Amino acid sequence: MTRTVDLVISGDGRAARAAAVDALRWGGRVLIVLRSGDARQAQRLRSCLRKTPGADSGQLRVMTSAEVVCVDGVDAVEAVVVRHAPTGRLSAVNASAFVSAQNRARPPGLPHASKTVEHNLQNDVEIRQARSSSQ
């Protein structure tokens, strides 16, 4: 599976939800990767995030029983590799941004995930606009 999204989020904490809401409000496509295989948890998360103003069902994907194993790119995030835990199958996802929002304490001085996403998405919009105006 190769998919293209604007943001990949690993985790289901408050920071993950905040980052997803910010991206959905900007019109971004979001993939949330959860280690848990609990289908009810994933459905609750989907239902909660689809209530975001401006979000539609095609913008949000939630992958359960999975973990992010690699994030790569030249000057910025370009690809994220996800391992599906039950099978070990690897999936490549084209992505513009990545947020690890596991339920761990954030080190002092590290910006909040939603601010980082907002900054990355705004930069992406500005780059796209500059490219289209130069053509």
CATH class, range 2-134: alpha beta
**The pLDDT of residue 122 is above 60:** no
Residue 11 neighbours by CB distance under 10 Å:
21
**The pLDDT of residue 27 is above 50:** yes
**The pLDDT of residue 105 is above 80:** no
Query: How far apart are the C-alpha atoms of 35 and 132, rounded to whole Å?
Result: 39
For 59-78, how does the pLDDT look when each residue is reduced to its tens digit (9 = 90+)?
Answer: 888 899 999 999 998 888 99
Structural domain boundaries in the chain = 2-134
Picking from 44-53, 72-81, 88-97, which range would have the lowest pLDDT averaged per residue? Answer: 44-53
CA distances from 36 to 23, 40, 59, 101, 102 (A): 23, 10, 21, 14, 12
The whole model's pTM is what? 0.72
